[in-house]
Chain A
Amino acid sequence: MAVKESISSLTSTSDHSDEVAISIHGLNKSFGENHVLRDFDLDVKRGESVAVIGKSGSGKSVLIKCIIGLMYPEKGTINVLGKEVTKLNNKDLDRLRVKVAFLFQSNALYDSMTVRENLEFPLRRHWVQTTKNEVDGLVMEALTNVGLAHTVEMMPSELSGGMRKRVALARTLIMKPDIILYDEPTTGLDPITSREISNLMVDIQKKYNTSSIIISHDLSCVKITADKIVMLIDGKNYAEGTYEELSKSEDLKVKNFYI
Chain B
Amino acid sequence: MLPKPLKDFFSELGMISQFGIRFFKEGFVPRYEFREMIRQCYFVGYKSLPLVALTAFIMGLVITIQSRPTLVEFGAEDWLPKMVSVSLVREIAPVITALICAGKIGSGMGAELGSMKVTEQIDAMEVSGTNPFKYLVVTRVFATLLMIPLLAILADAVSLYGGYLGCNIRGIVSWPLYWNQVFETLSFGDVIPSILKTVFFGYAIGVIGCYKGYYSSKGTEGVGQSANSAVVLSSLMVFIIDLVAVQIIDILNLT
What is the CA–CA distance of A105 and B119 in the complex, to the nearest angstrom?
9
The answer to whether A70 and B119 have CB atoms under 8 Å apart is no
Q: Are A126 and B128 in contact (CB under 8 A)?
A: yes
CB-defined contacts of B120 to chain A, threshold 8 Å:
104-106, 108
**A110 interface residue (CB < 8 Å to B):** yes
Name the contact of B119 in the complex, choosing from A90, A94, A108, A125 (C-beta under 8 A): A108
Beyond the given pairs A90-B131, A97-B129, 11 more chain A to chain B contacts, judged by CB atoms under 8 angstroms and listed by A's residue number, are: A65-B123, A70-B126, A98-B129, A101-B127, A109-B121, A111-B115, A111-B116, A122-B129, A125-B128, A125-B129, A127-B129
| A69 smallest CB distance to B (angstroms) | 8
Is the CB–CB distance between A104 and B123 below 8 Å? yes
Complex: how many Å from CA A127 to CA B130? 10
Please tell me if B54 contacts chain A, counting CB pairs below 8 Å: no
A residues in contact (CB < 8 Å) with B: 65, 68, 70, 90, 94, 97-98, 101-102, 104-111, 121-122, 125-127
**B121, A108: Cβ atoms under 8 Å?**
yes
Cβ of B72 under 8 Å from chain A: no
Question: A-B pairs with the 4 shortest C-beta distances?
Answer: A108-B124, A122-B128, A108-B120, A125-B129
24 CB < 8 A contacts A-B: A70-B123, A70-B127, A101-B127, A102-B123, A102-B124, A104-B120, A104-B123, A104-B124, A105-B120, A106-B118, A106-B119, A107-B119, A108-B119, A108-B120, A108-B121, A108-B123, A108-B124, A110-B121, A111-B119, A111-B121, A122-B129, A125-B129, A125-B130, A126-B129
Q: Which partner residue on chain A sits nearest B123 by CB separation?
A: A70
Interface residues of B in 96-131 (CB under 8 A from A): 115-116, 118-121, 123-131
A110 to B68, CA, bound (A): 53
Residues in B whose Cβ lies below 8 Å from that of A109: 121
* Of listed B119, B120, B125, residue having the most chain A CB within 10 A: B120
**A194 → B minimal CB distance (Å):** 20
Which B residues are in CB contact (< 8 Å) with A106? 118-120
Alpha-carbon gap, A97 to B119, bound state (A): 20
Query: B123 to A94, Cβ gap below 8 A?
Result: no
Give CA–CA (A104, B126) in the complex, Å.
12
Name the B residues within 8 Å of A127 (CB-CB).
129
Which one of B116, B120, B124 has the greatest number of beta carbons of chain A within 10 Å?
B124
The reply to whether A68 and B127 contact each other, CB–CB distance below 8 Å, is yes
A121 CA / B130 CA spacing, docked (Å): 9
Closest to B121 in A: A108
Question: A121 contacts B127, CB within 8 Å?
Answer: no
Q: Let me know if B119 and A102 touch, CB within 8 A.
A: no
* Inter-chain contacts of B116 with A (CB < 8 A): 111
| Smallest CB gap from B39: residue in A | A112
Min CB distance A113 to B, Å, is: 10
List the B side residues contacting A90 at CB < 8 Å.
Answer: 131
CA distance A105 to B127 in the complex (A): 14
Contacting residues, chain B, for A102 (C-beta < 8 A): 123-124, 127
